[in-house]
Amino acid sequence: MYKNFTQTKAFSGLRRCAQRPYDLTRKGALFEDDRLQKFVCRSPLVNLHYGTQRIDHHVLQGLSDMSRELELVEQFKALRRGAVANRIEGVESENRQVLHTACRDLFSALPCHPEATASAAGQLDKLASFLEKLDSGVIVNHRQQRFTSLVHIGIGGSDLGPRAVYEGLKCYGKEGRTVRFIANVDPDDAVAVLSQVDLSTTLVNIVSKSGTTLETLTNEEIVRAALKKAGLNPADHCIAVTGEGSRMDNSGDYLETFHMYEYIGGRYSTCSMVGAASLGFFLGMEQLKQFLEGAALLDEMAEEERLEQNIPLLMALIGVWNHNFLGCRSLAVLPYSQAMHRFPAHLQQCDMESNGKSLQRNGQPVASTTGPIVWGEPGTNGQHAFYQLLHQGTEIVPVEFIGFRRSQSGLDQTVENTTSQEKLLANLFAQMVALAAGKESDNPNRVFPGNRPSSLLLAQRLTPKTMGALLALYEAKIIFQGFVWNINSFDQEGVQLGKALATRFIAEISKRESDPDSLENYFLKQL
Amino acid sequence: MYKNFTQTKAFSGLRRCAQRPYDLTRKGALFEDDRLQKFVCRSPLVNLHYGTQRIDHHVLQGLSDMSRELELVEQFKALRRGAVANRIEGVESENRQVLHTACRDLFSALPCHPEATASAAGQLDKLASFLEKLDSGVIVNHRQQRFTSLVHIGIGGSDLGPRAVYEGLKCYGKEGRTVRFIANVDPDDAVAVLSQVDLSTTLVNIVSKSGTTLETLTNEEIVRAALKKAGLNPADHCIAVTGEGSRMDNSGDYLETFHMYEYIGGRYSTCSMVGAASLGFFLGMEQLKQFLEGAALLDEMAEEERLEQNIPLLMALIGVWNHNFLGCRSLAVLPYSQAMHRFPAHLQQCDMESNGKSLQRNGQPVASTTGPIVWGEPGTNGQHAFYQLLHQGTEIVPVEFIGFRRSQSGLDQTVENTTSQEKLLANLFAQMVALAAGKESDNPNRVFPGNRPSSLLLAQRLTPKTMGALLALYEAKIIFQGFVWNINSFDQEGVQLGKALATRFIAEISKRESDPDSLENYFLKQL
């Protein structure tokens, strides 16, 4: 039923274009046809500047034709309306809908999937009422004190997205409230976090869709033991976010339980209760809703048919251009904002777990390489670290820059006639030009080959709404790329073997004896 | 004078081996010839397990021959003894010695470069005396209170290494002492850190070799202004680490000044005063010396001629095998230790800034691809994030795992008959086996192709000494790889163009007017 991009009519034309991609190093190349002005997609929350990519109007037309042939926007629309998009034909697969977008489809009179949105709204109402009881002092600790701190326990999708958003919005928190995260089964992770909090005024939010995640259950046990040791009743401190009917869905053990649903994958779950519960505690309902609204606006944009008006689709197709036509196998996401320091780690998960696949949705091997290696650190820090390779290395790494016109705090200082925020952005723009244009030199060690493509997502300020928009933008981008490669971006069978083997190893350790000829034995002897 | 690896006699044999590399997925392949037992390099501080690499004795012999032909160990010995290794023949280059190893060559009666080690020892003595004055209350704030907190201001090499080590050794700090870091020119970075400290009991350590780093000078100004605003005298709170004679080397402005030397590159400077001053404040001199001693032990090991006894050399050559012979262009470093969470970011800098190069030391273009893209996050977290791609993606990513037999705190809890530390290691071992051996299945979506190579660095516990060893191990590994590719791993000309353009952009902004036809103007209009 679905095609991959190599089966489209547009493919061969794009391949021809890729033999001589636009040369950004040619004198005047960045100014030609006002490309920097024209290759911009504007939207109320964020603009995409892509004039420093190795594309021209032919390539854009080819990508647009490919998009239409593959019905990318139609597929996205169908997904939001409840299509069983998590599926591989002809083999056993999860066969689920993909409805994370429903969690934020709260701002339109006609939500795309009314039932899923109603469930999400119901959970949000439950959260609002719970938070109201915290605010008004109806829910307090056994000494009648307010809860000021929250420990969020989850891993993977139940950790990286919520943590990236929390870090990004740390300066928007309600007075006196903090959130800390425990994810790793490494006991030192829990020890370090527990040493930082006063448990008596701490809520513990345990997040596991299945209710069976090894790390999360183990850390829950550790924190419950610490609560008991401190003379506290865990059921007065713990809340849960889990699937309906999971073994964690047990009201006796928790002060409150929130639900997430099977049709929301972990790495896409930040806007569900997985992120919303802890973020709501920290930001309050009003700002949480702004965050969701920003995400909803980008979901709307992703339904725009015209490529040049659809930022996630543009980024997806430019990504495919760089990856499959120009041969760049990794992608750096470089936010010029210290608050965004965990956003690349979230994207690393969302992208690599979604699209690090080798099987098409029709059960056949993929026709090309798929998901890139995604990595990144904030600028300007990275400039003093790995940018050497970006400029002069033998690998060409496309870059997605993220920038904000204004700082979050607004506090700044003018040193030598410019503010730090101005210096930050000047550096960002300088990097885009340097990567694209390069520089000649008589000294071969000072030659910059240039033609290293980048884009810039530029927003006004990192607010809850902008953060929601960036989150949803990348989710949609990743989903569009999955459609292009014709893979199922919503399962993760690739993590099962390691999990199964770990279970076997743990069972061996727990027996304290192991088959002398086994792999386990070899490794356990190292302990 | 120097060759690259493609010019060695061993090269063609290795190329032949690479056409049919060892098949880890064959039944019994992991047990054959006791490879898991034999492919281990043991040392007092850390062992390297490399039986899950796609190598056999032929490949090892070829790599060993290559190493001898290229005189890798001789080159490393020469470097420690003061060779001008930061150099490119026939063109203008830095022409400097590379003597970071001298900073820790303090434990032998005959240091390799006595003069550089004497300088380093002198700085350490100065530090010891400064710290003693802090401990004994000779240096206090204007209210006679002790300094308990330190803000470290630096970027790149003056940030990532010290920060990674601090995070790794956080649980070893002197009672009540904390260190925080400001790096980014993003004003929100300084605002966030300053909101967390009581400036009156805070030392500020400004670290810049040149004394001219834009970000660091700007952040110094911001922190000095904050100190003044709090009614404090900056000269009573600020210390500096800088090159002798730099514009920061001005005793009137600082409580104390420590020196670093031209022959120590930023990314290799963690063991110099760049890291030692802040780490010494936090850990105390005794533990700082253990850290240095661990590093010194690994420098010694890197001089071992026998490949199978030299961990950094083994890792370097196995890395070249995976990168240049098997075609894997990136490298994941995955520590199974939450405390090591910033170590991959440090390595990303150390490796990619050193070896992301396109020019040989003889001024000719490189003969092969050079430095890989290095990235990573702690396990088990990553298992729930990007491991899908590692197992089933279309890119093969070699992995360097790092593990510790015991947790740092020793605090742990038995849940279902195993401790968290046991679960952590069971997961690590399971991943090595899963990546190597793979798994067949009737369901094509559950097929694991295997043959994905990994190594394991296994140490007893993450202590100051182990941390020093791991740091030096990777430094030596990176340097060996530079020798193999015949590149200069010690300059960073690739960061200059971006810096120069940023200076131009900042100048334009500061004039508040710009040439309407300029690139600057285009970008500045976005602000």
Whether residue A523 has pLDDT greater than 90: no
Helices (H), B136-208: 160-168, 187-194
Cα–Cα distance, B2 to A429 (Å, whole number) = 39
Q: How far is A409 from chain B (nearest CA, A)?
A: 6
Nearest Cβ partner for A422 among B369, B384, B509: B509
Whether residue A445 has pLDDT greater than 80: yes
For all residues of chain A together, what is the average pLDDT?
96
Co-location of B371 and B439 in the same domain? yes
Whats the size of chain B, residue-wise?
527
3-class DSSP state of A386: coil
Q: Report DSSP letters for B74-131, one per residue.
A: HHHHHHHTT---B--TTS----B---GGGGG--SSSS-SSHHHHHHHHHHHHHHHHHH
Co-location of B328 and B462 in the same domain? yes
Inter-chain touch B423–A155, beta carbons under 8 Å? no
Co-location of B60 and B155 in the same domain? no
Whats the size of chain A, residue-wise?
527
Interface test with A, best of B32, B394, B456, B491 (most A CBs within 10 A): B394
Q: What does the pLDDT read at residue A516?
A: 67
Closest-CA residue in chain A for B40? Answer: A526
Residues of B in contact with A390 (CB under 8 A): 356, 494
- Contact (CB, 8 A) for A391 and A452: yes
In a domain, A359, yes or no: no
| Mean pLDDT within B94-119 | 97
Co-location of B195 and B335 in the same domain? no
Q: Report DSSP letters for A148-184, one per residue.
A: -EEEEE--GGGTHHHHHHHHHTGGG--TT-EEEEE--
Interface test with A, best of B497, B506, B517, B527 (most A CBs within 10 A): B497
How big is the A-B interface in CB pairs under 8 Å?
Answer: 458
Inter-chain touch A385–B160, beta carbons under 8 Å? yes
In a domain, B157, yes or no: yes
> Percentage of chain B surpassing pLDDT 70?
99
Cα dihedral: A137, A143, A147, A148 (round 10): 120
> Domain boundary at B243, B268, B289, which?
B289
Co-location of B136 and B204 in the same domain? yes
CA distances (Å), origin A445, targets A283, B75, B490, B502 = 50, 22, 12, 20
| Mean pLDDT within B70-92 | 97
Exposed, middle or buried: residue A460 (CB in 10 Å: 0-12, 13-18, 19+)? middle
| Mean pLDDT within A315-339 | 98
The string of pLDDT tens digits covering residues B259-315 is 999 999 999 999 999 999 999 999 999 999 999 999 999 999 999 999 999 999 999
The radius of gyration of chain A's CA atoms, rounded to the nearest angstrom, is 24
Q: How far is A382 from chain B (nearest CA, A)?
A: 7
Q: What does the pLDDT read at residue B514?
A: 61
| Mean pLDDT within A70-83 | 98
Catalytic annotation, pick one of B167, B353, B475, B508: B353
The string of pLDDT tens digits covering residues B430-454 is 999 999 999 999 999 999 999 999 9
Inter-chain touch A413–B221, beta carbons under 8 Å? yes
| Mean pLDDT within A349-362 | 98
Structural domain span for residue A516: 495-524
Inter-chain touch A444–B91, beta carbons under 8 Å? yes
**Which residues are registered as beta bridge partners of A514?**
none
> Domain boundary at A261, A289, A317, which?
A289
Co-location of B244 and B338 in the same domain? no
The string of pLDDT tens digits covering residues A167-206 is 999 999 999 999 999 999 999 999 999 999 999 999 999 9
Q: What does the pLDDT read at residue A350?
A: 98
Co-location of B202 and B142 in the same domain? yes
Cα–Cα distance, B388 to B425 (Å, whole number) = 19
Residues of B in contact with A31 (CB under 8 A): 517, 519
Q: How far is A97 from chain B (nearest CA, A)?
A: 18
Inter-chain touch B407–A497, beta carbons under 8 Å? no
Co-location of B334 and B474 in the same domain? yes
Span of A72-81, A413-422, B115-124 with lowest mean pLDDT: A413-422
Nearest Cβ partner for A416 among B388, B434, B510: B510
Nearest Cβ partner for B370 among A393, A433, A496: A393
The string of pLDDT tens digits covering residues B186-238 is 999 999 999 999 999 999 999 999 899 999 999 999 999 999 999 999 999 99
Nearest Cβ partner for A420 among B185, B353, B392: B185
Q: How far is B27 from chain A (nearest CA, A)?
A: 13
Q: Which residues, 6+ apart, have CB-to-CB distance to B320 below 8 Å?
A: B5, B63, B481, B484
| Mean pLDDT within B475-491 | 98
Catalytic annotation, pick one of B9, B58, B170, B499: B499
> Domain boundary at B239, B266, B289, which?
B289
Cα–Cα distance, B392 to B397 (Å, whole number) = 11
Q: How far is B220 from chain A (nearest CA, A)?
A: 10
Q: Which residue has the tokens 């810049």?
A: B208
> Which comes out higher in pLDDT, residue A189 or B252?
A189
Whether residue B510 has pLDDT greater than 90: no
Q: How far is B380 from chain A (nearest CA, A)?
A: 6
Residues of A in contact with B363 (CB under 8 A): 444-445
Cα–Cα distance, B53 to B322 (Å, whole number) = 9
Residues of B in contact with A517 (CB under 8 A): 31
Q: Report DSSP letters for A49-71, one per residue.
A: E-TTSS--HHHHHHHHHHHHHHT
Q: What does the pLDDT read at residue B321?
A: 98
Nearest 5°: phi and psi at A394? -85, -10
**Binning pLDDT at 50, 70 and 90, where does residue B172 land?**
very high
Q: How many domains does chain B have?
A: 3
Co-location of B147 and B176 in the same domain? yes
Inter-chain touch B192–A339, beta carbons under 8 Å? yes
Residues of B in contact with A353 (CB under 8 A): 385-389
**Binning pLDDT at 50, 70 and 90, where does residue A510 land?**
confident
| Mean pLDDT within B36-46 | 95
Q: How far is B73 from chain A (nearest CA, A)?
A: 25
Which residues of A are known catalytic residues? 353, 384, 499
> Percentage of chain B surpassing pLDDT 90?
92
In a domain, B8, yes or no: no
> Percentage of chain A surpassing pLDDT 70?
99
Inter-chain touch B352–A386, beta carbons under 8 Å? yes
Whether residue A85 has pLDDT greater than 70: yes
Co-location of B458 and B500 in the same domain? no
Q: What does the pLDDT read at residue A114?
A: 98
In a domain, A166, yes or no: yes
Whether residue B327 has pLDDT greater than 70: yes
3-class DSSP state of A372: coil
Give the count of beta carbons closer than 10 Å to the beta carbon of residue B416: 12
Q: What does the pLDDT read at residue B205?
A: 98
Nearest to A302 by CA among A292, A294, A310: A310
In a domain, A486, yes or no: no
Closest-CA residue in chain A for B160? Answer: A385
Residue A274, domain CATH: 3.40.50.10490
Q: What does the pLDDT read at residue B516?
A: 66
Co-location of B251 and B215 in the same domain? yes
Nearest Cβ partner for A427 among B369, B392, B502: B502
Catalytic annotation, pick one of B27, B229, B384, B511: B384
Q: Which two tokens stand for residue A426?
A: 């000047």
Residues of B in contact with A50 (CB under 8 A): none
Q: Which two tokens stand for residue B178?
A: 């904390």
Q: Has the ipTM of the complex gone over 0.85?
A: yes
Q: What does the pLDDT read at residue A293?
A: 98
Q: Give the count of alpha carbons within 13 A of B499, CB side only.
A: 15
Closest-CA residue in chain A for B338? Answer: A189
Closest-CA residue in chain A for B448? Answer: A494
Whether residue A519 has pLDDT greater than 80: no
Residues of A in contact with B522 (CB under 8 A): 36-37
Torsional class of A341: left (φ above 0), alpha (ψ -120 to 50), beta (otherwise) = alpha
Cα–Cα distance, B28 to B52 (Å, whole number) = 12
In a domain, B99, yes or no: no
Q: How far is B342 from chain A (nearest CA, A)?
A: 11
Nearest Cβ partner for A386 among B214, B218, B348: B348
Interface test with B, best of A397, A497, A524 (most B CBs within 10 A): A497
Sign of CA dihedral B111, B116, B122, B127: negative
Closest-CA residue in chain A for B354? Answer: A388
Catalytic site includes residue B346: no
Closest-CA residue in chain A for B427? Answer: A502
Residues of B in contact with A434 (CB under 8 A): 497-498, 501
Q: What does the pLDDT read at residue B307?
A: 98
Q: What does the pLDDT read at residue B144?
A: 96
**Binning pLDDT at 50, 70 and 90, where does residue A513 land?**
low
In a domain, A441, yes or no: no
Nearest Cβ partner for B353 among A336, A386, A420: A386
- Contact (CB, 8 A) for A71 and A63: no
Note if the pTM is more than 0.90.
Answer: yes
| Mean pLDDT within A263-277 | 98
Q: What does the pLDDT read at residue A447?
A: 97
In a domain, A143, yes or no: yes
Whether residue A251 has pLDDT greater than 80: no
